[in-house]
Amino acid sequence: MTIAMNELQWVDFLKKHVNPGRNVVVGIGDDCAQVKVGKEKLLLKSDLFIEDVHFKRRDISLFSIANRAVGRVLSDFAACGGVPLFLGVSIGIGSLSSSNLKQLLKGVVTCSKKYKFAFIGGDTAKSKKVFLDVWGVGRSDKCVLRSTAKVGDHIFITGLLGKRPFNASFVPRIKEAQFLVKNFKVNAMIDISDGFIIDLYRILQASKKGALLEGNLPVTNGKSDLYRGEDYELIFTIDKSSKNIDVLRKRFHFVGRIKPNSFGYKNRRGDVKINGYTHL
Amino acid sequence: MTIAMNELQWVDFLKKHVNPGRNVVVGIGDDCAQVKVGKEKLLLKSDLFIEDVHFKRRDISLFSIANRAVGRVLSDFAACGGVPLFLGVSIGIGSLSSSNLKQLLKGVVTCSKKYKFAFIGGDTAKSKKVFLDVWGVGRSDKCVLRSTAKVGDHIFITGLLGKRPFNASFVPRIKEAQFLVKNFKVNAMIDISDGFIIDLYRILQASKKGALLEGNLPVTNGKSDLYRGEDYELIFTIDKSSKNIDVLRKRFHFVGRIKPNSFGYKNRRGDVKINGYTHL
């Protein structure tokens, strides 16, 4: 909780000092920044993936490092209802051999084909530890925010929690997000990078709302999955007036409803405990 | 020279494997990638600035770290004849205190006001060493490449070499580049990040041309300035048919002419020796 507040204070500092200008629709504090260039609505995002902070080399293959570093950014585009257009990767080489580096880049190239974005290169430099900064441009005709959940919204998750081992590749939920924004009134969306409980809390904080978690939450290994990061499923809230919510209940996992701010953040037994991995 | 070849081999590897797609006008190997989104022509660029690789903390203030890391990217936009629109900064925190970090970010905010781009935030994470990855989007109606120098072009530099101490801020040559692309036929351009001799060589290699350096080259401290990186002046080549080349000779520094590839890379005394700082 203390750690989470540090990240929120951090975002507050940036919000206060950064004057992003009139072509920035959403600046600091959502999954992506949303900007306008002429008539085009674009998403901008970067995400760091650092040896001994986000991963240990012995736990994960070079291909999975690439896939995961890229996937995290694609997942953020998905969380805004968008698709990727162009991605670059800045690499701190650390202990990587030339052949390691080639494998890593081939991983990025494989992703670019699978998820249909253009890989436009990027910078490489010597460094103490291996790190990747994946950055890029996406497109979203109808940008979904964290801050626009409404009282009465049905809350869903795109898949089971705790199902994706860290050392495996994961599939960012781009297709699912496209299906949702094209067919339903999605009021708010976020991807689960730090844990279901903390990431839903971010929607509630940004939207100034409460929530009631209902029924059995879709966990694989037990309650710890609710607090486990790196799942990269999407949490989304659907307007209560939406038609065909039953379709969503069959395809995805219903987990609860948005309540007024004064209600708090609860499950049937009382207040939800908040924690989860945060970066600062 | 060996080192430089490694960087060129690296670019070759990327060129071979990266399949950037039809909206990418220029991918790997120029100062920026050039892409199209709808009718908009955009520039994309990232640049790493790493403690104990590109700078030592004792040599440079936090403000100058921000200014230099951002300035390097702005200089690349300028080298393509562009202006910056949106910049993000990913920061590895290393040993920075919270107050250090705020100073660093205030430096970026100051740049955003001075050079009229929107600072849209970015990621921060723990790391062993401090590093910044500055990435962003620029715009250029008339993108200038490294690879389109023509025989007979007059070669210029925007300013004196060796004049800008590393620990001081520098002004990326955005205004000068705008003046040039609006008023002259600029066939090729690059910014001096690794040294005049090596960076002009990059134009020659990309354009498959030679060059003759003429007269007294505009150095401050002597011949070593020709091989010194971090100057961030622009080298540009102007079509011999351009009118008012005299205007350019007064405002900038004429250094020589583009020759056929078979001519080689020469000054009046013979072959030019190539070296300079490279990143791999």
Q: Do B17 and A105 touch (CB under 8 A)?
A: yes
Asked whether the whole model's pTM tops 0.95, one would answer: no
Q: Which residues of B touch A131 (CB under 8 A)?
A: 92, 127, 131
Q: Which residues of chain B have pLDDT under 70?
A: 1-11, 17-22, 27-29, 167, 275-280
Task: Indicate the pairing of strand B265-267 with strand B209-213.
Answer: parallel
At A24 the pLDDT is 79
Buried b (16+ CB within 10 A) or exposed e, B189-209: bbbbbbbbbbbbbbbbbbbeb
At A191 the pLDDT is 95
Q: How far apart are CA A226 and CA A219, in angstroms?
A: 7
Token couple for A200: 């839903």
The Cα angle at residue B56 between residues B52 and B57, in degrees rounded to 5: 125
Token couple for B224: 């070593």
Q: Which residues of B touch A36 (CB under 8 A)?
A: none
Cβ atoms of B275 and B198 closer than 8 Å: yes
Amino acid at A279: H
Cβ within 8 Å of A, B 136-165:
137, 139
Q: How far apart are CA B1 and CA A274, in angstroms?
A: 56
Cβ atoms of B51 and B104 closer than 8 Å: no
Cβ atoms of A132 and A55 closer than 8 Å: no
Q: Which DSSP helix (H) or strand (E) runs through B41?
A: strand B40-50
Instruction: Nearest by CB to A92, from B27, B42, B50: name it.
Output: B50
At B148 the pLDDT is 95
At B7 the pLDDT is 56
Q: How far apart are CA B43 and CA B140, in angstroms?
A: 7
Instruction: Nearest by CB to B40, from A19, A37, A121: name it.
Output: A37
- Other Cβ atoms closer than 10 A to A92: 28
Of the candidates A189, A177, A183, the residue with the CA atom closest to the CA atom of residue A153: A189
Q: What is the signed CA dihedral for A23, A27, A30, A36, rounded to 10 degrees?
A: 10
Cβ atoms of B242 and B185 closer than 8 Å: yes
- For residue A122, the chain B residue with the least C-alpha distance is B46
At A165 the pLDDT is 73
Please tell me the distance in Å from B8's CA to the nearest CA on chain A. Answer: 13
In this predicted model, which residue has the larger pLDDT, A112 or B280?
Answer: A112
Residue-wise pLDDT for B147-195, tens only, equals: 999 999 999 999 999 887 776 778 999 999 999 999 999 999 999 988 9
> Which residues, in sequence order, are bridge partners of residue B139?
B42, B83
Residue-wise pLDDT for A114-157, tens only, equals: 999 999 888 889 999 999 999 999 999 888 999 999 999 999 99
Instruction: Nearest by CB to A88, from B46, B106, B113: name it.
Output: B46
Cβ atoms of B53 and B277 closer than 8 Å: no
At A170 the pLDDT is 84
Q: How far apart are CA B251 and CA B34, in angstroms?
A: 29
At A176 the pLDDT is 97
* A102-124 average pLDDT score: 91
Half-sphere exposure in the Cβ direction for B178 (13 Å, CA) = 9
Q: Which DSSP helix (H) or strand (E) runs through A5?
A: helix A2-17
- For residue A108, the chain B residue with the least C-alpha distance is B18
Compute the mean pLDDT over every residue in chain A, rounded to the nearest whole number: 88
Please tell me the distance in Å from A137's CA to the nearest CA on chain B. Answer: 9
Q: How far apart are CA A190 and CA A34, in angstroms?
A: 14
Q: Tell me the domains of chain B and their CATH numbers.
A: 18-139 (3.30.1330.10), 154-271 (3.90.650.10)
At A18 the pLDDT is 66
Q: How far apart are CA A37 and CA A18, in angstroms?
A: 19
Does B72 lie at the interface with A, CB-CB under 8 angstroms?
A: no
* A228-253 average pLDDT score: 93
Q: Do A118 and B50 touch (CB under 8 A)?
A: no
Contacts A–B by Cβ distance under 8 A: 201
Cβ atoms of A132 and B47 closer than 8 Å: no
Asked which of A97-106, A177-186, B8-17, B269-278 is least confident by mean pLDDT, the reply is: B8-17
Please tell me the distance in Å from B277's CA to the nearest CA on chain A. Answer: 12
In this predicted model, which residue has the larger pLDDT, A161 or B27?
Answer: A161
Q: Do A46 and B127 touch (CB under 8 A)?
A: no
According to DSSP H, which parts of B80-184 are helical? 98-114, 174-183
Q: How far apart are CA B27 and CA A178, in angstroms?
A: 28
Residue-wise pLDDT for A188-208, tens only, equals: 999 998 899 999 999 999 999
Asked which of A5-19, A37-51, B12-26, B228-242 is least confident by mean pLDDT, the reply is: A5-19
Asked which of A61-65, A251-255, B19-23, B46-50 is least confident by mean pLDDT, the reply is: B19-23
Of the candidates A147, A143, A91, A146, the residue with the CA atom closest to the CA atom of residue A122: A91
Band (A52; pLDDT cuts 50, 70, 90): very high
Helix, strand and coil content of chain A, in percent to the nearest 5, comes to 30, 30, 40
Q: Which residues of A touch B88 (CB under 8 A)?
A: 33, 44-46, 135
List, in order, residues 6 or more apart from A129 with CB less than 8 Å away: A50, A51, A52, A53, A92, A94, B127, B128, B129
- Other Cβ atoms closer than 10 A to B98: 12
